Amino acid sequence: MASIKNLFTPRTEEDGAFFYAIKKIILYRPKNIQLFEEAFTHRSKNEKYSDGTQKNYERMEFLGDAIISSIIAAHLYKKVPGGNEGYLTKMRSKVVSREHLNELGRDLNLISFVKSSIPTTQFGGNIHGNLFESLVGAVFLDKGYKFAEKFINKRVIKPYVDIQKLEGKIISYKSLFIEWCQKNKKQFKFNVYEDTGNDALKHFAVKLKLEDETVSKARATSKKKAEEIAAKRAYYKLKSKIDSEML
């Protein structure tokens, strides 16, 4: 029999759909659905609780980030008993990289739940990972660490954490290229300039010089992206040499 609370608590059809969609994702029945509503509320809504505190996902995103990191750290600590601190830190970084978290958020289509006063098409790509982190924060607040661990194990560790594959995964070509240059005392420079093309969005172009030679070029909507693309192209151009000297 339904409880008196459930009988007299109004729930719109939309609210019910959200409840069951969240239940399907987190793999249990939420105790406090309001936590999950907050986890998908963008700051542009400017919503507040009765005590005046902001109601948006940013605090939960912060919490979820810490929870994910601790659960992955514990898993790697148990899974790789011979791994030293540097190795474990690097492996954890690969699992919780922004690129990977964005992939997780996209796979679960979390952006479809966002309440926002601006079109979701205007969000940057990191919105997907931010929402995944806030979702984990909501799970932790709703049911505790054990349930958050179970969720991460199901959604992250089992499908994605393969130690051998992670060892060969590159999370930043720019960092790898710089490390290789420094290790082998090679001079390099990213020459960045504003691209004055006809695109609606401003672009930046990069020439990556190694010693006195331009080894790659790239353009993107930010300096950071352009440098990363240029470094990636340089890596694949010099792959055999870099791989052998980074062993």
pLDDT for the residue numbered 52? 85
Calculate the alpha carbon distances from 232 to 97, 119, 199, 217 in Å: 17, 32, 23, 10
Of all residues in the chain, what percent are helix, strand and coil, respectively (each to 5)? Answer: 60, 10, 30
51 as an active site residue: the answer is no
Mean pLDDT is lowest, of 18-22, 164-168, 200-204, 221-225, for: 164-168
Q: What is the pLDDT of residues 9-46, one digit of tens each?
A: 444 455 689 999 999 999 899 999 999 999 999 999 99
Marked catalytic residue, from 37, 38, 61, 65: 65
pLDDT for the residue numbered 168? 66
Percentage of residues of the chain with pLDDT beyond 90: 48
Find the Cα–Cα–Cα–Cα dihedral 199, 204, 208, 214, rounded to 10°: 40
Q: CA–CA separation, 94 vs 184, rounded Å?
A: 24
Q: Is the pTM for the entire model greater than 0.75?
A: no
- What's the whole-number mean pLDDT along residues 74-93? 88
Q: What is the set of domains in the chain, with CATH numbers?
A: 11-166 (1.10.1520.10), 173-245 (3.30.160.20)
Q: What is the pLDDT of residues 136-190, one digit of tens each?
A: 999 999 999 999 999 999 999 988 887 777 766 676 788 888 888 998 899 999 9
pLDDT for the residue numbered 3? 41
pLDDT for the residue numbered 14? 54
Q: Which residue has the higher pLDDT, 170 or 100?
A: 100
227 as an active site residue: the answer is no
Q: Which residue has the higher pLDDT, 103 or 164?
A: 103
Marked catalytic residue, from 38, 133, 149, 227: 133
